[in-house]
Amino acid sequence: MDIDVRGPRFGAAVTATVLAVVLVTGNAWLLAWQTLAFLLGTAGGVGRSPYGLLFARAVRPRLGPPTEFEAPEPPRFAQAVGLLFAGLGLVGLTLGPGWLGLAATGAALAAAFLNAAFGYCLGCELYLLVRRMTVRAG
């Protein structure tokens, strides 16, 4: 079943905010929270991530009905990509090297910002690219 495109975009806005605070403060606990949020979004889909649940319960009821939908697989893959970068960032912030933590967190922030501000999902585009390549190869 397709999902309301506003949900992942809302999640990206919250994610971008969290990651920006992590970059400013270096707070590894906050990055651990974001890593967990990515893990839950990867495992259960964006609708079952903390930010997806917040959108469904607190934001969507205040909006009009959705006019645009998307398949759930690309945003779920994007959550997995976010999980990878947040995990690398967490390793860098807690165990070192520090530059790895900053670079990986910054990359995740850039991707989340693109989705939140412009509706351009890098992880979704990567999913579609990989899917096209496997269809051609298979």
**pTM recorded for the entire structure:** 0.93
**pLDDT tens by residue, the chain, 138 residues:** 899 999 999 999 999 999 999 999 999 999 999 999 999 999 999 999 999 999 999 999 999 999 999 999 999 999 999 999 999 999 999 999 999 999 999 999 999 999 999 999 999 999 999 999 988 886
CA distances to 3, 39, 48, 80 from 44, rounded to whole Å, are 13, 8, 5, 11
CA distances to 36, 65, 132 from 68, rounded to whole Å, are 28, 9, 23
Closest CA to 7 of 79, 84, 59, 85: 59
CA-based end-to-end distance of the chain: 26
Of all helices (H) and strands (E), which one includes residue 48?
Answer: none
Residue 121: per-residue pLDDT: 96
CA–CA dist 128, 64 (Å, integer): 29
